[in-house]
Structure 1
């Protein structure tokens, strides 16, 4: 695994990606399934730029509490600014495998696009269970990049690019095993769903337009890929759009778990 480096520039790029209508719609589905209630204490593991933390805070209200946790200082700076008007949000430094909270301190927890980066999943899920009260619930969303469909002309180059991109993940296929991991950690899993990100057209406000730039930057120097290769891959995707036959689709898998 070669971790993504979230300096200020990269964090701002992620912030723009999370503001696209695709990810806004994803957050709405996450919130509907988690169903945070007024007065609840909710933990957002991997809170990133703070969009979800704000939505959670609006749902629980000032009688509740939202704690956002992230390992990235750059992300936390953005999140603290975004959340500053809601005193019941706390943005903390920390990681999913070592949650800095007492036992049974939350009614609910949510984690989107985080556990695929966590090396020790049994420990991370044990920590998740520890901080939830009896009967508490957790919602986890992660991606399997095998589900990606992208119309390209140069299939061989595309496969090399995606293989190199997967190097930034510890568990590039986590969703296929996540329900079992949750059950072995002492959760029940009453709900499993798929959230589809679908872009039949390319424009700046789509998820794929933003993620392709991040992918192209990351893959240079991996799997023998050069900057010229990365640019050729981008040009191929943009040519599909120019010719009117662009298509991108990606599945994100959602698991609702409860503490037994």
Structure 2
């Protein structure tokens, strides 16, 4: 399904910035929607596939309690280090963290009751294989919760629309699928899942603040795009400065899509 992306490099600095973005009100609200869809209950075994800085894994651990278990895997050692330091309340389930990816989950067949995967599959080129792997580690009747972005849904005000288009085209190079949500119902069905629910999870930022999803992502984007699609460092800096200078007139909107499927 296309060429493999040129991925973001989650070194220690990038991992810290992602950690800050995950603490914003925008992503906290997104996490509430994911947990509502997952609906974890005490005693369940849950895999957080691509756990990042560990916020979701920690919250799930509190909900499944001491009789449950949470597995968190990620490809980034920097992310796993942040996740390992994430505080969990008394009575939370153990959280086992380790290196792995969507195509090679280090768990046996039928090991978990639920798999949750947020903002990961859009980076995975071979989605049929990834969904087969998720199905493999799920017990019969287990559920898969997926959240991903359709990047065609982005609305980002700029004083230079042509420059915005160039920057976003360069940003697309970190993705395997810029439009994965529209394909997921078919992909899930072909992988042997029954789709139980689908809904939209929007992000809206009006007025510029660094402590928002888009305010944080600006820095990651500006660091990634130079040298791609004809965008250089000066243009990336000008793009970012223009957005910051809009102040109260700043506008950003993006739609993510949340799917619940049953094995």
TM-score relative to the length of structure 2: 0.95
Aligned mate of 1:74, from 75, 78, 81: 78
Mapped partners of 1:39, 1:176: distance in 2: 33
Answer whether contact 1:195 1:253 (CA < 8 A) is retained. Answer: yes
| Alignment match, 1:220 | 226
User: What 5-or-longer segments of structure 1 have no aligned partner?
Assistant: none
Answer whether contact 1:53 1:83 (CA < 8 A) is retained. Answer: no
Mapped partners of 1:43, 1:218: distance in 2: 29
| Alignment match, 1:150 | 156
Question: SS at the partner of 1:82?
Answer: coil
Distance 1:83 1:121, change over 3 A: farther
| Alignment match, 1:135 | 141
Is 1:126 the equivalent of 2:150? no
Is 1:18 the equivalent of 2:30? no
| Alignment match, 2:41 | 37
Compute the RMSD of aligned alpha carbons: 1.1
Mapped partners of 1:164, 1:176: distance in 2: 22
Mapped partners of 2:165, 2:184: distance in 1: 25
Mapped partners of 2:16, 2:87: distance in 1: 16
Superposed structure 1 runs of 4+ greater than 4 Å apart: 83-87
Question: SS at the partner of 1:186?
Answer: coil
Shift of residue 145 of structure 1? Answer: 1.2
| Alignment match, 1:57 | 61
Question: SS at the partner of 1:22?
Answer: helix
TM-score relative to the length of structure 1: 0.96
| Alignment match, 1:199 | 205
* Matched residue count: 257
Shift of residue 123 of structure 1? Answer: 0.7
Question: SS at the partner of 2:179?
Answer: coil
Matches within 5 A, 1:95-114: 95-114=101-120
| Alignment match, 1:211 | 217
C-alpha distance after superposition, 1:184-232 (max 9, x if no partner) = 0000001011100100121121111100111011001111111110111
Mapped partners of 2:75, 2:87: distance in 1: 17
| Alignment match, 2:179 | 173
Question: SS at the partner of 1:203?
Answer: coil
Mapped partners of 1:55, 1:66: distance in 2: 10
Aligned mate of 2:123, from 98, 117, 122: 117
Mapped partners of 1:53, 1:83: distance in 2: 11
